[in-house]
Amino acid sequence: MAHWFIDYVTMPLSMPILLLWLLVARVVSLLLPLLVVPSLLTARTLYWAVPIARTAWKIKPRFKGFVQRMGFEATYCMNITRRFLTLPLRRRVPDVFILGFPKCGTTALAQYLMQHPAISGVDGLTWDPSLGKESHFFNGVLGPRTTHSRMLYRSFFPTMVTRWWREVVLRCGTWKCMDACPLNACLPHVAERIKKMNPNAKLIFMVRDPVEAAFSAEIMLRNTGMDLEWSFMEDIQAADPRFVESPEDEAFFEKLSHLKQYDALPYDLPSRIFGKASSVLYFSKFADRIAPYLSRFPRENILFMEFREFTAQPQKSAESVMEFIGVDPAKYTFKPVPMWSGERRGRRMHPAVKKKLRQYFAIPNQKLYAIVGKAYSWDAEMSSSEDEEHAITSTGEHLIIPLSDQFAEKEKKSYATAVELLPQAVGRKESRSRANRTISVSAVV
pLDDT digit string (tens) for 126-145? Answer: 777 778 899 999 999 999 99
Give the confidence band of 240 by pLDDT, cuts at 50, 70, 90: confident
pLDDT mean across residues, the chain: 85
Burial class (CB in 10 A: 0-12, 13-18, 19+), 149: middle
pLDDT digit string (tens) for 25-37? Answer: 999 999 999 999 9
* Higher per-residue pLDDT: 431 or 313: 313
Q: Which residues pair with 421 in a beta bridge?
A: none
Q: Is the pLDDT of residue 413 over 70?
A: no
Radius of gyration of the chain (CA): 23
Mean pLDDT (whole number) for 257-263: 92
Q: Is the pLDDT of residue 236 over 50?
A: yes
* Higher per-residue pLDDT: 431 or 329: 329
Residues 6+ apart with CB under 8 A from 256: 187, 188, 189, 266, 269
pLDDT of residue 343: 72
Q: Rounded to 5 degrees, what angle do the CA atoms 13, 14, 20 make? A: 130
Mean pLDDT (whole number) for 397-418: 44
Q: Is the pLDDT of residue 70 over 50?
A: yes
Percent of the chain residues past pLDDT 70, beyond the cut: 84
SS (H, E, C) 68-126: HHHHHHHHHHHHHHHHHHCHHHCCCCCCEEEEECCCCCHHHHHHHHCCCCCEECCCCCC
pLDDT of residue 144: 95
pLDDT of residue 381: 58
Dihedral angle of Cα 418, 194, 47, 58, to the nearest 10 degrees: 50
Strand order of the β-sheet with 176-179 is: 119-120, 176-179, 96-100, 202-207, 302-306
The answer to whether the beta carbons of residues 393 and 385 sit under 8 Å apart is no
Q: Taking the CA atoms of 121, 131, 268 and 287 in sequence, report the sign of the dihedral they define.
A: positive
pLDDT of residue 125: 79
Q: Is the pLDDT of residue 45 over 80?
A: yes
Give the confidence band of 397 by pLDDT, cuts at 50, 70, 90: very low
Give the confidence band of 57 by pLDDT, cuts at 50, 70, 90: confident
Burial class (CB in 10 A: 0-12, 13-18, 19+), 409: exposed
The answer to whether the beta carbons of residues 101 and 283 sit under 8 Å apart is yes
CA distance 429 to 423: 9
- 84 upstream amide cis, omega within 30 of 0: no
* Higher per-residue pLDDT: 238 or 175: 175
pLDDT of residue 385: 34
Mean pLDDT (whole number) for 286-299: 96
Looking at 1-61, list the stretches that DSSP marks H as alpha helix, in order from N- to C-terminal side: 2-5, 11-31, 37-49, 52-55
pLDDT digit string (tens) for 81-110? Answer: 999 999 999 999 999 999 989 999 999 999
* Higher per-residue pLDDT: 300 or 1: 300
Q: Are strands 393-395 and 398-400 parallel, antiparallel or unpaired?
A: antiparallel
pLDDT of residue 382: 53
**CB neighbours (10 Å) of residue 28?**
13
